[in-house]
Structure 1
Amino acid sequence: MVVTLKDVAEKAGVSTSTVSRVLSGKGRVGKKCQAHVKKIVEEMGYRPNTNARALACNRTEMIGLITPNIAGAFHGPICVGVEEAASKIRYKILIANSFDEYERVQEAIYSFSEQGCDNIIIHTNFVEDDELIQLAERIPGLVIINRFIPEIAERCVWLDNVSGGRLAAKYLIDSGHKDIAVISHSRKIADPKDRLTGVLEACEKAGISIPEQNILFDPIGTIDEGRLLARQLVESDAKFTAIIAYNDLMAVGAINELQDMGIRVPEDVSVIGFDDLYFCQTSRPTLTTIHYPISEMAKYAAELSVALTTKGKDATPKTHLFMPSLVERKSVKTL
Structure 2
Amino acid sequence: MRKNFILIELIIVIFFLSYSNADFEGGSETEKRSSRRVWCNPRTGLRITRCISWTKIKKYTYRKCGFWLRRRCKSGTKYYWISKSRWCTKKCKVNGGWSAWRGWRGWGACYGSSCVGHQTRYRLRTCTRPRPLNGGRSCRGPNRQWTTRSCKPVNSIVNGNWGSWGHWKSIGTCSKSCGNGKQMWARERTCSNPAPRCGGKSCPGTSISKRYKKCLVQKCEVDGGWSAWGAWTSYKTCSKTCGSGQQFRHKVRYCTNPPPSNGGKKCKGKDKEKDYNICNVHHCPVDGKWSEWGSWGHFRHCSETCGYGVKYRYRHRACNNPEPKYDGKKCPGLLKDEEFKRCFLRKCPDKRVNGKLSKTSGKSAKQK
| TM-score between both structures, scaled by the size of structure 1 | 0.19
Instruction: Point out the structure with max Rg over C-alpha.
Output: 2
- Structure whose residues are more often helix by fraction: 1
- Structure whose residues are more often strand by fraction: 2
**Which is bigger in relative contact order (C-alpha 8 A, separation at least 6)?**
1
| TM-score between both structures, scaled by the size of structure 2 | 0.18
